[in-house]
Structure 1
Amino acid sequence: MSQTSVSDRKYVHRVLSKTAATDEVLIITSYDYFLQKYDLRLLKSVYKEIILIPHSTDDDYLLKHTVSPLLEKYEKIHLITNPQYDSRYRVIYELVVRKNKSIRITTVFDFCEKNLKKIYIPESIGDTNPNLSEISSFGKRIKYPKKIIDVTVSILLFLASFPFWVLSYIKIKMQSPGPIFFRQERVGLANKLFYCIKFRSMGLDAEANGATFSKKKDSRVFSYGGFMRQTRIDELPQIINIFNRDISLIGPRPERPVFTESFDEIIPYYNMRHNIKPGITGYAQVMYSYGAGVYDARHKLMYDLYYIKNWTLLLEFKIILMTIMVIFGKRGR
């Protein structure tokens, strides 16, 4: 058996915690894909130490030299693994048993949903997540309270934000002559198309070279347009879409057909986000920082599917509160 390469050893990450609630050590294999900084901060408050083990050309050597030293320091091991293709948990299990230590093994599917509050999306279109078989469209028990929230909050939001409608009309006319509103085709419930309405934040020739994702610092955005995007004022006209029953207040972000068609082909379960109406704001939008492209779309899908599967009134109001915090904190896209 050949020794693992220097690069393999280099990318074994150890995260120490001084405020852990237990003396348990967390070991996660093949972690690159679903963890972000927010997740690590959350886990550091629970576990004494976190070991992140990537794919390796020599798992036996890597794991024995990573895990064995831990067993001299700690009595409890919590191992997170993907049973569909990750066999390294057997090596770790044998090491732990040999040392007469305690170990519990959790699948990455259950760990993501219960501990990180998101649904694990496989990397490959051919892989599965058994937990996703339970996801379906919203029934009457959820649709009715959501409709009440949509109408009530939208009316209040329109009345409270009316001065910004007037201000935006004046500013847009001054800085970028042309239409006040920007209408763009988006994908809604059951893949039906609708026109999403926003205040225009870019110049009229913004997509002269074709459809592209917007960016944090986008040269196509004029001055007041940048302010609107940062504070989410540009989203206000979507209240009209709510009254037209195209979208809901909370749901997955409505994407353009050109992007959803591409994502459907390469991201497993992507089309499940269309089981419900899209929203002005949503769980993914407040939990995941700005991002464009396949990697970010896949990660935001984890939050969208968690919202669909685990909807409660408490989660609905939590997202509303977090959206308000995002707006006033100016943590925009």
Structure 2
Amino acid sequence: MRNTYVSDRRYVHRLLSKTAVSEEVLIVTSYDYFLQKYDLALLLKRYKEIILIPHSDDDDYLLNHTVRPLLDKFEKIHLVTNPQYDKRNRVIYELVVRKNKSIRITTVYDFCERSLKKVYIPDNVSEINPNLLNIPSFGRRVRYPKKIIDITISIILFLFTFPLWILSYFRIKLQSPGPVFFYQERVGMDNKSFHCIKFRSMGLDAELNGASFSKKNDSRTFSYGSFMRQSRIDELPQLINIFKRDISLIGPRPERQVFTETFDEIIPYYNMRHNIKPGITGYAQVMYSYGAGVYDARHKLMYDLYYIKNWNLFLELKIILLTAVVIFGKKGR
């Protein structure tokens, strides 16, 4: 990314790519919402400039002082539209046609899925994404290969990591009195509860003040507990949950009911993630940086619903590979 420019009116965020390509994309929506740094880095490899136009009360000034000058520079315009802003979309289209420029129009719903490999989740609860009107549960065509992958990899992982189970048992006992395993009620497929099993990484008084999201460098963890969380060793007992058919290897992260009830009220389509079994790892976990709260839950949902809607064997294997990169390379977005 070579340059970042914000107009005097602070309406437009402008990004310039390093490579000279022929097309410019206009994002007609709030620029700080569905586009993350990873998305922008990806798009800047394909477009020479990106103009991100947030909602404003002065569209005439905005469009005439930002869109019109671009038409003298570029022959091809890619307009990504949000149907909520029909008036703005029409003005941009008319400006382009008047200049005899080429224009390609894509809705933000299709753009997210095709270009960013995630599903657009509206920021406004009253807005409807037509691409999400019906997402079914996995049928036999998906369940059977997933079951084979789950059982095969889980057995291999259990045998390969069994020495870590023994080591973790004694380290936890030495560093923190109490049970080795931690059982926590989570929400699974069809909103049915199950007990998620993990190695205990925190003290017994970790939630004296009530339920809260865990975070990086959590002060509630003991020494080996912190190491387990960084290396994902604490997740190993969830293999037992796979054998019990509570969860799958790949799927949305299982959350606690106290959080899912809140998310379901304020995040559109959130309940759709419960159409399938949750997973030890998942598309959202390898594509989105660690975070907690409503904002992060909304963005993770974009990846979870893409996974459900567009499942294929290649995507399943890709997530497994990316999970290995995250664990062994200690990487991740």
Q: How far apart are the structure 2 equivalents of 1:222 and 1:324?
A: 25
Aligned to 1:75: 75
1:264-302: CA deviation from partner (whole Å, max 9, x where unpaired): 100000000000000000000000001111010000000
Is contact 1:230-1:332 (8 Å) kept?
Answer: no
CA displacement at 1:331 relative to structure 2: 3.2
Is contact 2:186-2:254 (8 Å) kept?
Answer: yes
Q: How far apart are the structure 2 equivalents of 1:218 and 1:92?
A: 48
Q: How far apart are the structure 1 equivalents of 2:235 and 2:80?
A: 39
Give the secondary structure class of the aligned counterpart of 1:207.
coil
Describe how 1:133-282 pairs up with structure 2 within 5 A: 133-282=133-282
Aligned to 1:323: 323
Q: Which amino acid aligns with 1:194?
A: F
1:199-245: CA deviation from partner (whole Å, max 9, x where unpaired): 11111000000000111121101111111111111100000000000
Give the secondary structure class of the aligned counterpart of 1:290.
coil
TM-score, normalising length: structure 1: 0.95
Q: Kindly tell me: are residues 217 and 86 of structure 1, through their superposed partners in 2, closer, same or farther at Cα, counting changes over 3 Å? A: farther
Is contact 1:186-1:193 (8 Å) kept?
Answer: yes
- The number of residue pairs the alignment matches comes to 327
Is contact 2:267-2:298 (8 Å) kept?
Answer: yes
1:184-213: CA deviation from partner (whole Å, max 9, x where unpaired): 000001000000000111110000000001
Is contact 2:190-2:275 (8 Å) kept?
Answer: yes
Q: How far apart are the structure 2 equivalents of 1:68 and 1:222?
A: 59
Moved over 2 A (4+): 6-11, 84-87
Q: How far apart are the structure 2 equivalents of 1:8 and 1:263?
A: 36
Q: How far apart are the structure 2 equivalents of 1:203 and 1:212?
A: 14
Q: How far apart are the structure 2 equivalents of 1:39 and 1:15?
A: 12
Is contact 1:230-1:331 (8 Å) kept?
Answer: no
CA displacement at 1:134 relative to structure 2: 3.7
Give the secondary structure class of the aligned counterpart of 1:178.
coil
CA displacement at 1:254 relative to structure 2: 0.1
Aligned to 1:56: 56
Q: Which amino acid aligns with 2:326?
A: V
Aligned to 1:100: 100
Which segment drifts farther, 198-207 or 216-225? Answer: 216-225
1:99-153: CA deviation from partner (whole Å, max 9, x where unpaired): 1111111100000000000000111222110001241100000000000000000
CA displacement at 1:176 relative to structure 2: 1.1
Q: Which amino acid aligns with 2:23?
A: E
Q: How far apart are the structure 2 equivalents of 1:318 and 1:97?
A: 42
Stretches of structure 1 lacking an aligned partner (at least 5 in a row): 1-5
CA displacement at 1:85 relative to structure 2: 4.0
Stretches of structure 2 lacking an aligned partner (at least 5 in a row): 1-5
Is contact 1:23-1:48 (8 Å) kept?
Answer: yes
CA displacement at 1:9 relative to structure 2: 2.6
CA displacement at 1:73 relative to structure 2: 0.9
Q: Kindly tell me: are residues 289 and 318 of structure 1, through their superposed partners in 2, closer, same or farther at Cα, counting changes over 3 Å? A: same
Q: CA RMSD in A?
A: 1.4
Q: Does residue 33 of structure 2 align to residue 42 of structure 1?
A: no
Give the secondary structure class of the aligned counterpart of 2:133.
helix
Aligned to 1:26: 25
Give the secondary structure class of the aligned counterpart of 2:249.
strand
Is contact 1:77-1:103 (8 Å) kept?
Answer: yes
Aligned to 1:3: none
Q: How far apart are the structure 2 equivalents of 1:285 and 1:120?
A: 17
Q: Does residue 132 of structure 2 align to residue 132 of structure 1?
A: yes
Is contact 1:186-1:254 (8 Å) kept?
Answer: yes
Describe how 1:112-123 pairs up with structure 2 within 5 A: 112-123=112-123
Give the secondary structure class of the aligned counterpart of 1:306.
helix
Is contact 1:120-1:129 (8 Å) kept?
Answer: yes
Is contact 1:247-1:277 (8 Å) kept?
Answer: yes
Percent of matched pairs sharing the same residue: 79
Q: Which amino acid aligns with 1:147?
A: K
1:37-73: CA deviation from partner (whole Å, max 9, x where unpaired): 0000110111111111111120111111011111111
TM-score, normalising length: structure 2: 0.95
Q: How far apart are the structure 1 equivalents of 2:243 and 2:138?
A: 19
Q: How far apart are the structure 2 equivalents of 1:174 and 1:89?
A: 64
Q: Which amino acid aligns with 2:163?
A: P
Q: How far apart are the structure 1 equivalents of 2:264 and 2:8?
A: 33
Q: Which amino acid aligns with 2:217?
A: K
Aligned to 1:295: 295
Q: How far apart are the structure 1 equivalents of 2:220 and 2:87?
A: 49
Which segment drifts farther, 112-121 or 218-227? Answer: 218-227
Q: How far apart are the structure 2 equivalents of 1:332 and 1:201?
A: 21
Q: How far apart are the structure 2 equivalents of 1:314 and 1:138?
A: 16
